[in-house]
């Protein structure tokens, strides 16, 4: 199963980076066949017999027990799905990804709509096969964040919304927005690419075990042990998009590069959950990359690539990259508004899966939600409903992981500063790996051995508490915006 998974990851990476457009038909057939083979192995009677014999066996190592736990859950969920449906969905997924890319390029949702309708229908059927107690979306959320439900999401979303929306308004009406002119201008794409590579080297990404390629929508994929690949995109008039996209994906890659080989063979290399995986990317992108100590170290490095930054102070750069304002693109959203983008998507997804929202209505519903949450309306589909690749891949239930990642990272950061009281000084002096080493020791090495709540309690002594994130953004941005 691990070997076939590696082959599928490689095919997916190639499709989004180097595959010629006309190769999609043959690629979808190959992906479909391998996906079916993988599925057949994952529901094989022999595997069921092995799991039955091994579940509850306390003589197994903690890693082996975790593998049996995860494979057992996966086995039961997949056993409920007809095998012919798996190959059918894999073919549709490849076609949907190609249609999404074309639709996004032309900013025309109608190109993507028929394929998205198929993917939503498949997701609804999967939810029914998996089973759920209260909401069909619950059946899909379980794949990405064990134990998460629509009801639990509401208990997280509503308090966050109640605190973040007024705080954003306060920043806009009472605060003084930072000057962004230091990072404005036109920046050569190839130079940006080299800068992003240098930033990845600084945070410890191992290029002997990875690559950096261009794509429309950044992602990281794990082909196997010692092969974890990063992709990124660059905008000529938006310098920080490529920098923070690279750092974000680098955080994901560091997680997988920090896992021992044994976890790959036990299929525990997916991490504790998607939310925990996102915590590692947000830790590197935001907790590190948007901090003042980071800019004290990185400012001269940036000036080496773009000499116009030689006379720009680290403080000015720090303030410029921490502007809070509503934006159309999720991946470029600031720390305060980002979670509102996720709430919007999760609510639309839940409505789609429950049949309360039709695919044809998505552009309108998306724009209405953007106006409601962020006070802005996308001028076209590319800046709105077509900006994310996830739905084309059938990843319904994934988006909440991004928000949870912010919350997990903020709670971990409190513990990190308790353990490393001189962290800011060390980062400012260039000792960035002290932070990465802490994550290696406390997060990376465990991969998927622990469930997310278990891991958070092991690291911080408590379950997830969003108050840490709220305190973090309020303290940071009140200072930047001069609020009392």
Residues marked as catalytic: 249
H helix or E strand, kind and range, residue 312: none
| Cβ atoms < 10 Å from Cβ of 355 | 10
Instruction: Tell me the helices (H) and strands (E) count for the chain, helix number first.
Output: 21, 3
H helix or E strand, kind and range, residue 335: none
| Cα 258 from Cα 336, distance rounded (Å) | 29
| Cα 47 from Cα 197, distance rounded (Å) | 42
| Cα 87 from Cα 246, distance rounded (Å) | 33
* Closest C-alpha among 277, 160, 272 to residue 219: 277
Would you list the DSSP string of 34-64? HHHHHHHHHT-HHHHHHHHHHTT-TTS-HHH
User: How far, in Å, are 22, 330, 365 from residue 107 at the CA level?
Assistant: 21, 17, 17
- Length of the chain counted residue by residue: 484
| Cα 118 from Cα 103, distance rounded (Å) | 16
- Contact (Cβ atoms closer than 8 angstroms) between residue 476 and residue 170: no
Helix, strand, or coil (residue 214): strand
Structure tokens at 435: 């932070």
């Amino acid at each position: 199963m691990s070997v076939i998974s590696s082959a599928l990851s490689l095919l997916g990476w190639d499709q989004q980076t180097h595959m010629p457009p006309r190769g999609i038909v043959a690629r979808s057939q190959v992906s479909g066949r391998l996906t079916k083979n993988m599925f057949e192995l994952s529901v094989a009677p022999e595997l069921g017999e092995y799991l039955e014999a091994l579940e509850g066996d306390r003589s197994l190592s903690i890693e082996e027990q975790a593998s049996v736990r995860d494979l057992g859950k996966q086995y039961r969920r997949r056993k409920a799905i007809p095998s012919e449906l798996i190959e059918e969905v894999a073919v549709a997924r490849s076609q949907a990804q190609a249609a999404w890319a074309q639709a996004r390029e032309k900013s025309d949702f109608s190109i993507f709509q028929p394929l998205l309708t198929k993917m939503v229908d498949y997701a609804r059927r999967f939810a029914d096969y998996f089973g759920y107690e209260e909401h069909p979306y619950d059946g899909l959320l379980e794949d990405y964040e064990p134990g998460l439900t629509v009801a639990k999401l509401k208990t997280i979303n509503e308090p966050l919304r109640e605190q973040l929306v007024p705080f954003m308004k306060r920043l806009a009406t009472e605060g003084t927005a930072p000057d962004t002119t230091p990072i404005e201008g036109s920046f050569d794409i190839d130079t940006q690419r080299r800068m992003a590579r240098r930033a990845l080297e600084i945070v410890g990404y191992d290029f002997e075990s990875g690559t950096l390629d261009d794509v429309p929508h950044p992602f990281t994929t794990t082909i196997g042990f010692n092969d974890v690949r990063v992709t990124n995109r660059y905008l000529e008039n938006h310098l920080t998009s490529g920098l923070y996209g690279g750092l974000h994906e680098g955080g994901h890659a560091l997680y997988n590069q920090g896992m021992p080989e044994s976890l790959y063979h036990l299929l525990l290399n997916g991490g504790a959950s998607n939310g925990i995986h996102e915590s590692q990317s947000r830790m590197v992108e935001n907790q590190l990359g948007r901090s003042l100590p980071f800019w004290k170290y990185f400012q001269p490095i940036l000036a080496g690539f773009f000499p116009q930054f030689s006379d720009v102070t680290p403080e000015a750069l720090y303030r410029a990259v921490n502007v809070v304002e509503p934006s159309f693109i999720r991946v470029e959203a600031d720390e305060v508004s980002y979670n509102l983008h996720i709430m919007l998507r999760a609510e639309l997804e839940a409505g789609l899966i429950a049949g309360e929202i039709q695919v044809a209505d998505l552009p309108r519903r998306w724009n209405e939600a953007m106006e409601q949450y962020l006070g802005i309306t996308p001028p076209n589909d590319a800046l709105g409903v077509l900006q994310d690749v996830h739905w084309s891949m059938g990843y319904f239930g994934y988006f909440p992981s991004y928000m949870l990642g912010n919350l997990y990272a903020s709670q971990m950061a409190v513990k990190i500063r308790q353990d490393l009281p001189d962290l800011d000084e060390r980062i400012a002096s260039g000792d960035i790996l002290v932070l990465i080493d802490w994550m290696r020791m406390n997060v990376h090495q465990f991969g998927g051995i622990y469930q997310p709540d278990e891991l958070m309690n092991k690291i911080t002594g408590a379950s997830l508490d969003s108050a840490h994130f709220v305190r973090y953004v309020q303290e940071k941005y009140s200072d930047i915006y001069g609020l009392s």
